[in-house]
Chain A
Amino acid sequence: MTEVPELTDGRIVARCRTGDPEAWALLVERFSRYVYAICIRGFRLPAEDAEDVFQDVFAKTYEQLGRLRDDSAIRPWIGQLTRRTCIDRLRSSRPEADADQAEIADPADALAEVEQALDVQQALQSLGGPCQEVLDRFFARDESYRTIGAALDLPAGTIASRISRCLDKLKLELEDSPPAARPVDG
């Protein structure tokens, strides 16, 4: 999580359209966890299928950015694209005889949780600074107090209290800012 927080989704998309490779890297960084979580937590795809979907989603995003009518709507657009690509993958991996009969299990609850998690991640990016780093390392990367302390040049004994303080700050940040646009159904 090293991206520049002040760049809006819309601004990143606009820069991507001009062929700016840094903007594309930012876009991948901003949405890679989201796409990955939809594949793995939402649809529970095996890693090999998830990787194919992940690459397909970014390839289609790259090809189709020009069709996006509202640059700031990239989040729901990528969310919808990922869900559709996951469903296509699940359908195509089934035996033909089963394909028409079996419905894809509805992952609505897991997907709703991914959306909430993205709201939280975006609030965390708004916080920035040491809190972003500490909370991400501890919760999303499963790093120990010792590892975090060594990486950030902080005494390991202070990490727990920092995490607690940062969670309080994050809570305030979420209360003060509305969540981003939700994905459209589909």
Chain B
Amino acid sequence: MTNYETTYGIAKLAHLLAVLRPAPAGWSEAATELPRLRGELQDLVARAERDAELRARLESDLESALAESGIRPTPRILAEARRRLGS
């Protein structure tokens, strides 16, 4: 066990408290939203497999088609959607 009293003292503790700063808010939010977005994307791709018109729309203008479906087309989501549509 690390003995913080004898090894570091209060000054070291204060320093260590400053090491773990919050990640930028948008980063954590994006990570938190990941399961929901993946679920929505999965549903959309599944629908596109049954719906030729939807698939054509996704292939011709993926960004707009995602936005119309309520999915914010971030670069990461676009890449994921392309991967899923290509598979």
Interface residue ranges, A against B (CB under 8 Å): 19, 21, 24-25, 28-29, 32-37, 41, 51, 54-55, 58-59, 62, 113-114, 116-121, 124, 135-136, 139-141, 167-168, 170-171, 174-175, 178-179
Residues of chain B having any CB pair with chain A under 8 Å: 1-5, 10, 13-14, 16-24, 27-28, 30-32, 34-36, 38, 76
Sample (29) of A-B pairs whose CB atoms are under 8 Å apart: A24-B34, A32-B23, A32-B28, A33-B21, A33-B22, A36-B22, A36-B23, A37-B19, A41-B19, A54-B23, A62-B34, A116-B2, A116-B16, A116-B19, A117-B16, A117-B20, A118-B20, A119-B2, A120-B13, A135-B17, A139-B17, A140-B20, A170-B13, A171-B5, A174-B5, A175-B3, A175-B4, A175-B5, A179-B2
| Neighbour of B20 across the interface among A33, A54, A59, A171, CB < 8 A | A33
Q: How far is the CA of A179 from the CA of B4 in the complex (A)?
A: 10
Task: Give A15 to B23 CA distance when docked, in angstroms.
Answer: 24
Q: Which residues of B contact A118 (CB under 8 A)?
A: 20
Q: Given that A35-B23, A36-B23, A113-B19 are contacting pairs, would A54 and B1 also be in contact in the complex, using a CB cutoff of 8 Å?
A: no
Q: Tell me, rounded to whole Å, the shortest Cβ–Cβ distance linking B20 to chain A.
A: 4
- Let me know if A139 and B36 touch, CB within 8 A: no
Main secondary structure of the interface of A (DSSP, over half): helix
The answer to whether A140 touches B31 (Cβ under 8 A) is no
| CB–CB B16/A24 < 8 A | no
Q: Give Cα distance in the complex from A178 to B1, angstroms.
A: 6
Contact A21 B35 (CB under 8 A): yes
Find out whether the CB atom of A51 lies under 8 angstroms from the CB atom of B27: yes
* A124 proximity list for chain B (CB < 8 A): 17
Distance (Å) between the CB of B39 and the closest chain A CB?
Answer: 9
CB-based contact A37/B20 at 8 Å: yes
The residue of chain A having its C-beta at the shortest distance from the C-beta of B23 within the complex is: A36
List residues of chain A with CB within 8 A of the CB of B34: 24, 58-59, 62
Question: Given A35-B23, A54-B23, A140-B20, 15 other A-B contacts at CB below 8 A?
Answer: A19-B35, A25-B32, A28-B32, A33-B20, A33-B21, A36-B23, A55-B27, A58-B34, A59-B34, A114-B19, A139-B18, A140-B21, A171-B5, A175-B5, A179-B2
How distant is the Cα of A69 from the Cα of B10 in the complex, in angstroms?
37
Given A25-B32, A32-B22, A55-B76, are A171 and B10 neighbors across the interface (CB < 8 Å)?
Answer: yes
